[in-house]
Amino acid sequence: MRACAISPDSTSASRGRAESDGEVSGEHGGAGFGDLGVLAPVPARGPGTRATGRSASRTRRRCRPCPARSGPPGWAHRPSARTRRAGPTSAALTAINYACGQRGLPYIWGGDGPDSGDRGFDCSGLTKAAYDAAGITLPRTAHAHFHTGPHVPGGSPLLPGDLVFYGTPARITHVALYLGNSKMINAPTFGSPVQIDNYHHPNDDYVGATRPSR
């Protein structure tokens, strides 16, 4: 299975609109894989050593308990995980890994992929298979993907694993899997294989995103 290597070289400027279906509300934006807040130890001085001048002042300040949150002596606090942006779920990462492993397979109208006896995928066939691999069952079409939700609220940043939709409120024409860093993986259209692309282009018909969950 090939891992996603997201770089400008791996994108394609073309994206087809191969399926017809409904709408979703959401907002573009990126999301990183921020680390969780943890306690970080402050290095202790050895016995018999002394710090002088500015070094001593810095050492005393670092060991002083935080006035808002105190912890074990000699420890300093990083921001709580609650103050950081949420990251992708393990299911989302599994879906991404599956989809990236399908890169290069042909676009096939109605295709559900090699596991179902097809040489390739169409757009919703790829996203359904990716989330099937993660233990989340989605309906078959992009229209039904949208109606299944849950929707990403307007103004919220996208997370890796979100499904991004294109078309109009009355007719969804394409769905793809968001990777982060403004990239998506998708089965674009006839003649174009499964590939990584920019998820947003000027004057495109992006209409929003959903965040599949169990």
Domain 8-31+88-210 has CATH 3.40.50.300: no
Using one digit for the tens of pLDDT, what is the confidence trace for 147-199? 898 999 988 999 999 999 999 878 999 999 999 999 999 999 999 999 999 99
Break the chain into its structural domains and give their ranges.
8-31+88-210, 43-83
Query: What is the Cα–Cα distance from 198 to 145, expressed in whole angstroms?
Result: 21
3 pLDDT tier (thresholds 50, 70, 90): low
Q: How far is CA 126 from CA 65, 73, 85, in A?
A: 52, 52, 28
Give the helix/strand (H/E) hosting 130: helix 123-133
CA angle at 108 for the pair 204 and 133, rounded to the nearest 5°:
90
Give 192's contacts (C-beta < 8 A, 6+ positions apart).
12, 14, 16, 107
**What 3 state SS string does 73-110 have?**
CCEEECCCHHHCCCCCCHHHHHHHHHHHCCCCCCECCC
Please report where in the chains the tokens 């009355």 appear, as a residue: 170
Residue pair 122/129 in contact (Cβ under 8 Å)? The answer is no
Enumerate residues 6+ apart whose C-beta is below 8 A from 61: none
- In this prediction, residue 44 carries a pLDDT of 39
pTM of the model: 0.65
Nearest to 103 by CA among 205, 6, 209: 6
SS (H, E, C) 27-82: CCCCCCCCCCCCEEECCCCCCCCCCCHHHHHHHHHHHCCCCCCCCCCCEEECCCHH
| Predicted local confidence at residue 85, as pLDDT | 61
Identify the pLDDT of residue 86: 76
Predicted pLDDT of residue 10: 40
